[in-house]
């Protein structure tokens, strides 16, 4: 095999979660002199998979030093080095470094890659003029980052608009209830020419110069309009009978085990192995994953399925619950926004938003974090969740 073929084989091993074999292949390639940015980046990703955050940061720094020597971040690098800049920014932010250089890397990695300025506008530079804020990311990012509208000057906030793409249409009724920013939806006509600036929703932190968790404003909580029709626990017709299980009939718990991971090469946040859910098998849950089901077996949780067509439906259900158990996805952020006690199960390669070595969330005070310890199974984390549910 050629060196390039061996490198591609190492990439494939990582995507197949054969981490030991991938590490062995990467070590050998590096020792033989194949010391290129792509291999350093792969080694950083691999160490992140294994939960070795310090090592992953080191490899990302190495990759960056190869493509962009020196510490200065230049705007013209947007087109050249985003695949290295963004992982490095994530790694630095995860470790608590939210400096100006980190935000510059963040923007190099995202501008023209995950978002583009609106036609006829230029990226917002922090000026107090009205602007367009463009939606991006997933539903959870909208729940999370819209709090930064509060840091805008009130006049600027009133004059600016949040532009929501068609992907977010299921949030329409919910979105208008909590953040106060006038919103333009995909099916509405709109005069772009009256705006000179635009920015992405997730760029607000960078332009506003957030230096750490202490600078992050609290989210504006909201309550939905109550709606009848949420089933009660005494309706056993929704469950397959399992009389051998001791179930607390009073606890109303929601379960979200599947995360939207669109556009990623390797799924890490979803609990794809049904067997991993065995520690939760003695409880029954309201499903927060519409359209998805679990194999009915004594080793998996029992689920009640409630029709959930929009995020308002999901919010109304969550408000009736005593607790939510969820992977790192939009349900965790919505439950936090509603102030409902939540257990968020994080993968070993946890996102930068949760930092390191803490069980609380500075984003959402009602959310507790359970960090998994294995890159191969969620069982260790779910065993911890079961212990927490026992104490409810």
In a domain, 75, yes or no: yes
How is the chain split among helix, strand and coil, in percent rounded to 5?
A: 45, 10, 45
pLDDT of amino acid 177: 78
The residue from 110, 131, 164 where one domain ends is 110
Looking at the fold, whether 70 and 138 belong to one and the same domain comes out as: no
% of the chain surpassing 90 pLDDT: 65
In a domain, 115, yes or no: no
Looking at the fold, whether 157 and 204 belong to one and the same domain comes out as: yes
Looking at the fold, whether 32 and 157 belong to one and the same domain comes out as: no
Looking at the fold, whether 102 and 25 belong to one and the same domain comes out as: yes
pLDDT of amino acid 11: 95
Looking at the fold, whether 189 and 90 belong to one and the same domain comes out as: no
Owning domain of residue 153:
122-215
308: domain CATH number is: 3.40.50.2000
In a domain, 315, yes or no: yes
In DSSP terms, which residues pair with 324 in a beta bridge?
254, 342
In a domain, 225, yes or no: no
pLDDT of amino acid 160: 93
- Could you tell me if 364 and 293 are in contact, meaning their C-beta atoms sit under 8 angstroms apart? no
In a domain, 157, yes or no: yes
Across residues 111-116, what is the average pLDDT? Answer: 82
Distance CA 116, CA 163 (A): 13
Looking at the fold, whether 241 and 97 belong to one and the same domain comes out as: no
The residue from 48, 82, 110 where one domain ends is 110
Residue predicted with more confidence, 238 or 357: 357
What would the pLDDT profile of 243-272 be if each residue is shown by its tens digit?
333 334 468 999 999 998 776 778 899 998
Looking at the fold, whether 140 and 195 belong to one and the same domain comes out as: yes
Looking at the fold, whether 265 and 362 belong to one and the same domain comes out as: yes
Closest by CA to 288, choosing from 264, 272, 263, 311, is 311
Burial of 187 (0-12, 13-18, 19+ CB in 10 A): exposed
In a domain, 207, yes or no: yes
Looking at the fold, whether 88 and 175 belong to one and the same domain comes out as: no
- Could you tell me if 330 and 256 are in contact, meaning their C-beta atoms sit under 8 angstroms apart? no
Looking at the fold, whether 386 and 240 belong to one and the same domain comes out as: yes
Rounded to an integer, what is the distance from CA 227 to the centroid of its chain? 29
In a domain, 362, yes or no: yes
- In the chain, count of helices (H) and strands (E)? 13, 11
**pLDDT at 78 > cutoff 70:** no
The residue from 110, 130, 150 where one domain ends is 110
What would the pLDDT profile of 289-341 be if each residue is shown by its tens digit?
998 888 777 788 889 888 898 999 999 999 999 999 999 999 999 999 999 99
Looking at the fold, whether 98 and 153 belong to one and the same domain comes out as: no
In a domain, 106, yes or no: yes
Distance CA 172, CA 19 (A): 42
> How many folded domains does the chain comprise?
3
pLDDT of amino acid 192: 82
What would the pLDDT profile of 131-161 be if each residue is shown by its tens digit?
999 998 899 999 999 999 999 999 999 999 9
Looking at the fold, whether 248 and 301 belong to one and the same domain comes out as: yes
């Amino acid at each position: 095999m050629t060196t390039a073929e061996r490198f591609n084989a190492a990439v494939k091993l990582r995507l197949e979660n054969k981490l030991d074999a991938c590490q062995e292949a990467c070590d050998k390639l590096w020792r033989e002199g194949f010391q290129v940015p792509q291999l350093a980046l792969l080694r950083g990703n691999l160490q992140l998979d294994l939960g070795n955050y310090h090592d992953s940061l080191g490899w990302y720094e190495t990759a960056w030093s190869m493509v962009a020597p020196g510490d200065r971040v230049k705007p013209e690098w947007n087109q050249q080095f985003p695949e290295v800049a963004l992982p490095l920014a994530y790694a630095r932010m995860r470790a608590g470094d939210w400096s100006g250089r980190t935000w510059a890397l963040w923007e190099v990695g995202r501008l023209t890659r995950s978002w583009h300025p609106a036609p006829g506008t230029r990226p917002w530079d922090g000026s107090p003029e009205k602007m367009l804020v463009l939606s991006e990311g997933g539903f959870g990012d909208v729940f999370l980052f819209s709090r930064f509208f509060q840091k805008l000057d009130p006049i600027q906030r009133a004059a600016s608009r949040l532009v929501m793409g068609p992907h977010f249409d299921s949030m329409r009724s919910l979105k208008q209830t909590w953040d106060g920013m006038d919103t333009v939806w995909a099916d509405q006509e709109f005069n772009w020419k009256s705006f000179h600036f635009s920015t992405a929703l997730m760029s607000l932190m960078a332009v506003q110069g957030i230096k750490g968790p202490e600078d992050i404003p609290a989210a504006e909580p909201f309550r939905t309009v109550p709606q009848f029709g949420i089933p009660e626990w005494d309706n056993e017709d929704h469950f397959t009978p399992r009389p051998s299980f001791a179930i607390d009939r009073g606890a109303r718990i929601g379960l979200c085990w599947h995360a939207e991971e669109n556009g990623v090469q390797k799924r890490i946040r979803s609990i794809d192995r049904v067997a991993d859910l065995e520690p939760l098998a003695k409880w029954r849950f309201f499903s927060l994953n519409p359209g998805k089901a679990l194999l009915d077996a004594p080793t998996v949780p029992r689920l009640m399925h409630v029709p959930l067509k929009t995020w308002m439906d999901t919010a109304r259900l969550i408000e009736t619950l005593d607790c939510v158990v969820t992977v790192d996805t939009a349900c965790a952020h919505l439950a936090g926004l509603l102030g409902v006690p939540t257990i968020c199960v994080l993968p070993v390669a946890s996102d930068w938003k949760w930092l390191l070595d803490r069980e609380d969330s500075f984003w959402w005070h009602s959310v507790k974090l359970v960090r998994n310890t294995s890159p191969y199974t969620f069982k260790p984390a779910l065993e911890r969740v079961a212990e927490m549910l026992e104490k409810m």
